[in-house]
Structure 1
Amino acid sequence: MSLYTVMDIAGSAMSAQNVRLNTTASNLANANSVSSSSGETYRARHPIFAPQLDAALQSGPGKLSMRNSNGVGVEVLGIVESDKPLVMEYSPNHPMADDNGYIYKPNVNVMEEMANMMSASRSYQTNVQLADTSKQLLSRTLRMGQQS
């Protein structure tokens, strides 16, 4: 596996974590929104990741090696809405209350989202460091061929 492949893998991971950070930011921004019906209420969203194993496994079962592997990155398959129940709150004096006096709030757990944001941020940071280290290794490798 070349160092260029490492850069590709780190790049795909950074892209995936960027999607995760944006999704988490959207969830946090809408955490306190209110609606008058469950159909209009914001629902928490989460990205679905999958490893890009296809290229690595094309050589067949048991034949995967560092020599014939193109590397394994990550891709975002999509973003799904949470199926956790919405929060119904009885507030008959609220201007957005329905006929029964209920308002609907998103199913966003702020503490979970903050932990998710910290995790995504650390993962992004780790991949940036990985790419930087790979760049330094490539640079040192090129300098090895230079004469003093």
Structure 2
Amino acid sequence: MATAYFGAGCFWGVEAFFERLTGVTATRVGYSGGTVENPSYELVKSGVTGHAETTKVEFDPSVISYASLVDQFFEVHDPTQINRQGEDVGTQYRSVIFFLDDEQRQVAEEKIQEWSDKGIYKLPIATQIKKAAPFYDAEEYHQKYLQKHGSVSCGI
């Protein structure tokens, strides 16, 4: 198994999107990229921690490649928005790929170029590529939230 980390706005919908993919074996939502250890949702939501709402994706690379996951990442959100997705505003909703090694970093960089070259976005891709930082699981009530509660606004 392998692991990937993506920030693409509200993690409820991102998790639901990735967990439906063949080859994805597990997902968790949490916080990464900030300066506060073991932050709470309320603290992350305030925007003072530097953390992004992040989805941890465990996958079988013999079934789905990291490159395919990055393509899916670009399908699930608008990577041209800076520090927001839709009505969710703040650095915690930024578009970011947290890479674990040089291979993941290279794939992420190549995919940003590939998606930029497609010419489908009116604005430049703003996705950050950052070395993976510690990932802190979100509170249990956030895990599989949309499975538990149906489709609701992420702003709740």
Shorter-normalised TM range: under 0.3
Give the TM-score taking structure 1 as reference length.
Answer: 0.27
Higher strand share: 2
Task: Indicate the structure (1 or 2) with the bigger Cα radius of gyration.
Answer: 1
Give the TM-score taking structure 2 as reference length.
Answer: 0.26
Higher helix share: 1
